[in-house]
Structure 1
Amino acid sequence: MLNNSIFKKIIDKKTKANIIYEDKLVTAFEDIKPKAPVHILIIPNTFIASLNDIKESNKDIIAHMLYVSVNIAKQQKISQEGYRIIINCNKNAGQEINYLHIHLLGGKKLNKI
């Protein structure tokens, strides 16, 4: 499936982003409209539209995305005080970009949801 989203452009280095972490499976970068002092997005380097599009063949990517999120939380020194991981799925849940991504938020006391 062809994808020309901003996330694809970040992976392909066709637009600027403050990349925090990158490996063969995922890229992590600072959100341009942060909702907390630490607000990092973790995306797969292979296009997956949403959680609904996880298949047997790509299910391991979610585990890797979570693993990377935890390591970034430690690197950002928010793991002890606490952080939130959010994955929105589709429009009604607040997914604004049609590309699977994790929001890692922390660095302050977050409101209860």
Structure 2
Amino acid sequence: MPIDPTAPYDDDNIFAKILRGEIPSSKVYEDEWAIAFEDINPQAEIHTLVVPKGRYVSWDDFSAQAPDEEIAGFVRAVGKVARAKGLVEPGYRLLANVGENGGQEVPHLHVHLFGGQKLGRMIG
């Protein structure tokens, strides 16, 4: 089902259920702003998802609606996870998909952290 990044938030999406503890995850980090867990279908040696606790459909929704404190807290959480995973050196990829053309599959903002290997070009 294509994701409309401008649609109202769906409280039944899988990440909302993970945040509520209804679905288990392999959590690696949590603070007041975000939760991070391992992707169940990893696309790299390290593939961790960082999800804000707020109800945001996409990066567009988040950047337009979230208060500054929440944006800062989420961005800092992403950085903390990357550092804890040892990804800063030699490097990693940070990816947020938005909408159908961007490949978004879950209607809750989430950031992918990829690393642990040479990742190559983004788009071939």
Do both proteins adopt the same fold according to a TM-score greater than 0.5, normalized to the shorter chain?
A: yes
- Post-superposition offset of 1:2: 4.5
Q: What is the root-mean-square deviation of aligned Cα atoms in Å?
A: 1.6
Q: Which residue of 2 aligns with 1:110?
A: 119
Aligned residues: 113
Q: Does 2:109 align with 1:100?
A: yes
- Post-superposition offset of 1:60: 4.2
Kept after mapping to 2: 8 A contact 1:41/1:104: yes
Q: Under a length normalisation based on structure 1, what TM-score does the superposition of the two structures give? A: 0.90
- Post-superposition offset of 1:52: 2.1
Q: 1:88 aligns with which of 88, 97, 101?
A: 97
3-state SS, counterpart of residue 86 of structure 2: coil
Q: Which residue of 1 aligns with 2:43?
A: 35
Query: Of the two structures, which has the highest relative contact order with CA contacts closer than 8 Å and spacing of 6 or more?
Result: 2
Q: 1:66 aligns with which of 61, 75, 96?
A: 75
How high is the sequence identity, in percent, across the aligned residues? 34
Q: Under a length normalisation based on structure 2, what TM-score does the superposition of the two structures give? A: 0.82
Q: Deviations over 1:75-109 (max 9, x none)?
A: 11121110010011111100000111100110000
Q: Deviations over 1:34-85 (max 9, x none)?
A: 1111111111111100122133543443433232222212211121110010
Kept after mapping to 2: 8 A contact 1:65/1:102: no
Specify every segment of 5 or more residues in structure 1 that has no aligned partner in the other structure, as ranges.
Answer: none
